[in-house]
Structure 1
Amino acid sequence: MTPWIAATIAAYALLCAVSPFGKCRRCKGKGHRKTVVRKRPRPCRRCKTTGLRRRYGRSLYVWTKKTYRPLLDEKRRARAGSAA
């Protein structure tokens, strides 16, 4: 892996740790959108009027944590049981 790619991945991981949410792309972070016909603001259904979305890196981190955490806990419990 080249140093530039490693630096980019590390910078994105840091960004996801510091700021796990970004602006909603559909409403541009406002929480509402204007309709096509009457130009009235309506709540954004994608972000549920928060104006925020979860970053892909944060989603990957949460998925990994949910998937592999039970496996690690089982190994720790087995190791602690055999040591006692």
Structure 2
Amino acid sequence: MDDYTKITTKFCQPHINMMADNSSCNDVILKLPKSEFNKFQSSMVSNSPPLGEFNMNILGAGLGLVLVFYVLGYGLGRMIKMVNL
């Protein structure tokens, strides 16, 4: 029965061997049943927010700050221009 998914990676522990190189790494193979792998994959996908979703409060605060600094800079620029005639 071959209903397993194999996940292969290299596992290195440099803190054990100070002169760590490729020879201090081990290949690790994790065998998961496909049902467990599907559960894991669906839980990871469902936890991520959908694309294009954002907090309106943050957007409003950002746009408000941009507007405040624009008006402040514009006003100060006009005042400096009037003084330096």
TM-score, scaled relative to structure 2: 0.32
Which one has the bigger strand percentage? 2
TM-score with structure 1 setting the length: 0.33
